[in-house]
Structure 1
Amino acid sequence: MRIISGIHKGKVFSAPKNLPTRPTTDFAKEGLFNVIINEFDIDDLTVLDLFTGTGNITFEFASREAKSILCVEQNFNCINHIKKTIRTFGFNQIVVFKNDVFKYLKKNTQSFDLIFADPPYDISNYIDIPDLVFEKNILNENGWLIIEHDKHTNFETHPNFYQQRKYGNVNFSIFKNLSI
């Protein structure tokens, strides 16, 4: 994996092979960040990265100097890898929180400008993430929730669905508070 842009542009990092992850491809990550930078000033963003895995998306936000990034990950080996990479790159705006994402969302009271979720495709309840985010009101005004998912998942009927982007086999559904 590599960091595409920002202060660590072009730097490569690798995750241990034993991590139960499916990192976002560089092609999809580059496409997604092109969309994000046309909507937001990344250095002003507070970001929540759910199911952080290898930290691929978190490290891209950090390299682009996002204000703060909170990672929620349950796997101990993933957390150790993320913390090691944070130290390697000297990222000081990242906080790693070990927790089940759904328990975290139900108890969280902090709000964010951008929430990114890359859940394992084999857990069926990830389709509940938009409802949890909007019920708990944890997305700031004009903020986005982005969920990476497979081609078989369709969020278009959700009341807060905004748009979908496809990059090869990677799909991103974007949500925002459309009632404002």
Structure 2
Amino acid sequence: MRNRLRIIGGQWRSRQVSFVDIPGLRPTPARVRETVFNWLQNDIIGSRCLDLYAGSGALGFEAASRGAKSVTLVENNAQACRALKNNAIVLAADQINIVQMDVFRYLAGDAEPYNIVFLDPPFAMNRAVQTCHWLENKGWLRKEGLCYVEAESRLELEGLPETWHQLKSKTAGDVGYHLFKHV
């Protein structure tokens, strides 16, 4: 694997993780991750995080590095999961749990509400809004919990759950990234 990304902050600052080259896998850019974790700096320590469509694991590993108590990464692709597991071993990331499963199959299970959910589906799949509704309807996001949503910058995130309040929203090139609070 030649694809690598650098963890920006926390205990693994400057360490690199590898990811596989598969269609639709697009790691969150470093400058976007830096902004997102600045937004989350008062909430991440000791939190329970869920990283859906984990892909490279950029968001989940960054959260763990910055003090999340536990991070569950859900990814359907077997190759990507192997890379995530290898990275967790190299970093001795005991707080990370990797689940190889379709996101909707995972969310259909028994809900374990999380403090922070990272949601970054492959852009071509157009699953952001649908996944937000599953999180809401199945009880995966705690009251006052936060959900980070990354999608195409041109995608209008219309029809999100009524109990979600947008806190932040920015764009960087083709990427739109947003932070919501469950009220």
TM-score (norm 2): 0.89
- 1:24 maps to 2:52: no
**Secondary structure in structure 1 of the residue aligned to 2:64:** helix
The answer on whether the counterparts of 2:129 and 2:159 sit within 8 Å (CA) in structure 1 is: no
Amino acid aligned to 1:94: I
Question: What is the letter of the counterpart of residue 129 of structure 2?
Answer: I
Question: Match of 2:8, SS?
Answer: coil
Q: Map 1:23-172 onto structure 2 (within 5 A).
A: 23-37=27-41, 39-40=42-43, 42-155=44-157, 157-158=159-160, 159=162, 160-163=164-167, 164-172=169-177
Secondary structure of 1:107's match?
coil
Q: Work out the number of aligned pairs and report it.
A: 176
Structure 1: gaps of 5 or more residues: none
Q: What runs of 5+ residues in structure 2 fail to find an aligned partner?
A: none
Instruction: Tell me how large the CA RMSD over aligned residues is.
Output: 1.7
If each structure's strand is expressed as a fraction of its own residues, which one has the higher value? Answer: 2
Contact preservation (8 Å) 2:64, 2:71: yes
4+ runs of 1 displaced by more than 4 Å?
A: none
Aligned residue number for residue 174 of structure 1: 179
Alpha-carbon separation, structure 2, partners of 1:10 and 1:103: 34
1:172 CA displacement: 1.5
